[in-house]
A and B are shown apart, each in its own frame.
Chain A
């Protein structure tokens, strides 16, 4: 499903070149729930952004769903993000000036779905993550755990097969972490592929694979047998 070969990313700031990814080889199968771990600054977010088609590698080949992403246009990348990928961020990244419901509708708006269809689907999604009672709230007026669940609903809006979650529980308390992980785990059982960055070894129990990175390289991969 996802295949990265010798992916490199070098940031150029002023005159200095900063190699962040130094040859990543990784393949992810459909239905994987993968945890990406590693110290801060090791390039996890950079790799996630490349997998999520938000960023392009400086070198290497990235195959996603049998397509060579390195050759896709901006427009095509935007379409892939809209229809095939759902993003969940540590900072939630809900849009504060529109309601919770509108936030969930946004990806469907971008897709051009009719108003009624979009609204009922958004409500259903909010219900499935247990925050439908917050639909008309501003995201600023709900708790962190609720925000992340709204963000999950939004990520699911266009029914993507891949979910990219960059430290989704990084800002959450224990209880919310558990709730969010249960939801993600359920999505994985539905067949969605999830790639998640985390610093919390506890929650890797939900994953079937753990990958460790250091200094732009993958250290080791371990597969967790699922019971």
Chain B
């Protein structure tokens, strides 16, 4: 017989018939495959909730449970009236609950640019991209009425919304709301600044730019 299985190597020595070996191999492979498949599901989809995962245990289908009304988490008892409501003794306050440092204003600018510019635009003139697409225009921050509004008013508007503007309380922390209010103040100043507001040391820079601009304009035919 010229056609034979090479029984000698490995398999034959163990005294297991090739047929059985084959069967075992298959069984092993099959078993591993089944086990692997089992493992995949077990470990890939574990019996735990990930953020936002739906649940069929609770009636509303949400795995994250709303806080029981009236419950206060440790460290969440908001007793500081000014910091959390923008008011003092019930009156809208013009004071900031903490001093506005440069870092606070930088943070305020960042938050303002994320959450407010779509409508109020980068300078606060109320002509943002969404307004250009048909959103009712908000008032400019440079109107006298808003320049005279107390800082707490901006805090309140972000917290509670105003007219057709929704509340941003869910997305902007109270401290950041104050920083945005501080930044709006800075914006308001920037649009109404006079030369005397600029530190003496920096005034030369302004005139420098001016002469450059004039030189440029003169060069145009």
Partners in one complex: no
Binding site for B on A (CB under 8 A): none
